[in-house]
Amino acid sequence: MPDKPRQPIANKGRGSHTRPDPRYANTTREVVDDGWGSADEAPTTQKTTVTPERIKSIITRNRSPDLPFDLSINPYRGCEHGCAYCYARPAHAYMDLSPGLDFESRLFSKPDAAQVLRTELARPGYRCQVISLGANTDCYQPIERRLRITRAIIEVLAACRHPLTIVTKSALIERDIDLLAPMAAQGLVQVFLSVTTLDRELARRLEPRAAAPQRRLETIRRLSAADIPCGVMYAPVIPALNDHELEAVLEHAAEAGCRFAGYVVLRLPREVNPLFKDWLRTHYPLKFDRVMNRIRDLRGGAESDSTFTRRMRGQGVFAELVARRFATKLRQLGLGKSRATLDTTAFRPPAVNPDQLDLF
């Protein structure tokens, strides 16, 4: 009798259990069963490594019309949260590393980020715009507790009275309330907590090293108590897996004190597509066909669509239904769709030489 297809083995504590080759690599690897059962062995524990990276610039500029910011800062490459759906995974290919396990275990830090930021903000041609932290990878992922690069960046922005927004799924942001609360009083900061599901079991599988959903709601509560404008990002909406929780997530976030809300439907660019499919087969094999069929409905028959605006919201009947449900719930809860206007007029460039006194 022919062998049954091997069920993928989950890698405990990781969102991915495979290490596909980066697309720019000159060689490829393939797992082959040697006849001794090695293909069925459980994956070994993958330790996290962090490599310091020397940088020349830290502010990233984009021209995407469907993003609410033009400037962003990413203190880290890769993210230990290991979210199975993360659209940033393909970026690890530029480091000749895998978007799978390497993305969540072989990380890069930017220890000089605050110093480089100070230099960029002091340039005569710099014009103040809101800077987004956490746009690509989470700026409060676990290694931030030790490295404190994000905190150093916020210290520079606070000293310059520079506005910023933060998106995170980590409770570690509570550590920096002492910096964020005074900035909020000056209209300089807004925070979004990403809450994908209220189901702890789904969250553990989908976002294995991120804070539990209830802990994120508690973080919203604590930030709001400190008068820091806080919103919730329901992202991504995964059809037939978590879309039924949309209203419940918004209700719990509103009860915790959030003022704004947004959502993004699941995106499967480049290597994220096969990685998410592997994850889905591993953890929810009976839902695989239903989820993927709904995703194709969202994407006009394809599994991915990079077209501006459509990539965030999808198209078709299901996309319209999600949009209507979201808008209806926002009206019921009195939540806003967009961020508050942050003050860009209070910005004061840092001194090029901090030891030299200002003339005025």
Contact 100, 16 (CB under 8 A): yes
pLDDT tens digits for range 84-115 = 999 999 999 888 898 999 999 999 999 999 99
pLDDT tens digits for range 274-302 = 999 999 999 999 999 999 999 999 999 99
Q: By CB neighbour count within 10 A (0-12 exposed, 13-18 middle, 19+ buried), where does 125 fall?
A: exposed
- The answer to whether position 352 is within a domain reads no
Q: Report whether pLDDT(348) > 90.
A: yes
Q: Report whether pLDDT(2) > 70.
A: no
* pTM of this structure: 0.88
pLDDT tens digits for range 197-225 = 999 999 999 999 999 999 999 999 999 99
- The answer to whether position 319 is within a domain reads no
Q: Which of 57-71, 283-297, 346-360 has the lowest mean pLDDT?
A: 346-360
Q: Report H helices in 161-306.
A: 177-185, 200-206, 213-225, 246-256, 272-283, 288-298
pLDDT for the residue numbered 242: 97
Residue linked to tokens 């996290």: 48
CA angle 201–252–213, rounded 5-degree value? 30
pLDDT for the residue numbered 25: 60
pLDDT for the residue numbered 38: 55
- The answer to whether position 204 is within a domain reads yes
pLDDT for the residue numbered 336: 82
pLDDT tens digits for range 304-342 = 988 888 888 999 999 999 999 999 999 999 998 666 689
pLDDT for the residue numbered 26: 57
Looking at the structure of the chain, the number of domains it has is: 1
How far, in Å, CA of 328 to CA of 223, rounded? 26
> Phi and psi (nearest 5°) for 13?
80, 5
pLDDT for the residue numbered 357: 57
Identify the CA nearest to 230 among candidates 251, 260, 255. Answer: 260
**SS (HEC) of 152-163:** HHHHHHHHHCCC
The mean pLDDT of 149-166, rounded to a whole number, is 97
pLDDT tens digits for range 179-194 = 999 999 999 999 999 9
What is the pLDDT of the chain when averaged over all its residues? 89
- The answer to whether position 314 is within a domain reads no
- The answer to whether position 69 is within a domain reads yes
- The answer to whether position 300 is within a domain reads no
Beta strand pairing status for 189-194 and 230-237? parallel
CATH at residue 133: 3.20.20.70
pLDDT for the residue numbered 235: 92
Q: Report whether pLDDT(1) > 60.
A: no
pLDDT for the residue numbered 64: 83
- The answer to whether position 213 is within a domain reads yes
- The answer to whether position 348 is within a domain reads no
pLDDT for the residue numbered 67: 82
Token pair listed for 197: 């599901």
Residue 202 domain boundaries: 47-261
pLDDT for the residue numbered 5: 42
In order, the DSSP letters of 53-86 are ---S--EEE---TTSS-SEEE-SEES-TT--TT-
The neighbour count for residue 335, using CB atoms within 10 Å, is 19
Percent of the chain with pLDDT over 70: 86
